[in-house]
Amino acid sequence: MIADRPAIDRPAVDLEALLRDERAEVERALERACEWLGDELPDELLQPARHAVLSRGKRLRPILCVVAYRACGGGTDPAVYDLGAAIELIHAYSLMHDDLPCMDDADLRRGQPTPHTLFGEAATARAGLALIPAASLWALRASDALGADDGVSRRIVRELNRGAGAGGMVGGQALDLLGEGQHLDSNELDRLHGMKTGALLTASLVIGGLAAGASEASIAGLESFGRGIGLAFQVTDDILDATAVAADLGKHPSDGVLDKSTYVSLYGLEEATRRARVLAEEATEALRGAGIDAPALIALASYVVERKR
């Protein structure tokens, strides 16, 4: 049983304005990335890639990268949004493959038709794969523009691929597929989603910290924060999945329809809601413990558990 804890302290941050302004900058960075992709990919792959990358989403990962960069002493260089865009390219690839008929067979994502329903399965699968090296190359370009030295740039790309790879998102997706039709316990579910959802969220924060020249103690604090809000994000996703209709949530089908274990099926709705709050509060405590004064990150932790979609 999780001990009761107070609600997350809400710092004096206009969260609505923060999300609006940062999303606008992220969208501009994604447009720049797609313009560059136009010179790198054939049209048959560019079209599904652009559709996936530019379909409006929460853009939480690049926003976390940017906010972590500033919290660790980074400035206002617009290239940090390009660094965040590299992470979103990876996220877009994961959604393209996640929605394929051989995976979740989803026809709706972010309120729009999924790429394979418009461009075909083969082109979508190949375009998603192309976004993996493209993300690394774009991250290198952004790191260079931010003035990072070669060692830091290499570490940024390693973090990006570690969060995306077998020890992170891809490995978590494999566990997710293996877990269909099974009843996973809390440890198994935490491991699955710590990899599938949490790893790339954590990498977003670490990459922002690395680009800003953060200390190893600060990087460790960002990692702990990322792991906490990563699980909180997934718990909230499961709650929304259980309580919202596809038209509100913007995606179809749900994990419940796919017979996957969820935090709601494991804990029930009330306990899952409390667990999300506790995870987010523990994450903010880790941030404070590392000496990182970041009201915007704490506000984003609150957003993770209070969002409606």
Look at residue 6 and tell me if it is in a domain.
Answer: no
Look at residue 5 and tell me if it is in a domain.
Answer: no
85-112 in b/e burial notation, b at 16+ Cβ within 10 A?
A: bbbbbbbbbbbbbbbbeeebebebbbee
pLDDT of residue 222: 98
pLDDT of residue 244: 76
Segment 171-226, tens digit of pLDDT: 999 999 899 888 999 999 999 999 999 999 999 999 999 999 999 999 999 999 99
Look at residue 258 and tell me if it is in a domain.
Answer: yes
Q: What's the structural domain count of the chain?
A: 1
Whether the pLDDT of residue 246 is over 80: the answer is no
Q: Which domain holds residue 246?
A: 15-306
> Nearest-CA neighbor of 211 among 144, 281, 298?
144
pLDDT of residue 8: 59
Question: For position 21, which CATH number holds?
Answer: 1.10.600.10
Angstrom CA distances, 25 to 70, 163, 190, stand at 15, 23, 33
Look at residue 3 and tell me if it is in a domain.
Answer: no
pLDDT range class, residue 7, cuts 50, 70, 90: low
Crossing angle for the helix pair 169-178 and 79-98, nearest 10 degrees? Answer: 20
Look at residue 294 and tell me if it is in a domain.
Answer: yes
Look at residue 1 and tell me if it is in a domain.
Answer: no
Look at residue 2 and tell me if it is in a domain.
Answer: no
* Rounded mean pLDDT, 158-170: 96
* Rounded mean pLDDT, 271-291: 96
What number of other Cβ atoms are within 10 A of residue 180's Cβ?
A: 12
Cβ atoms of 54 and 23 within 8 Å: the answer is no
Segment 38-97, tens digit of pLDDT: 999 999 999 999 999 999 899 999 999 999 999 999 998 999 999 999 999 999 999 999
Look at residue 280 and tell me if it is in a domain.
Answer: yes
Whether the pLDDT of residue 1 is over 70: the answer is no
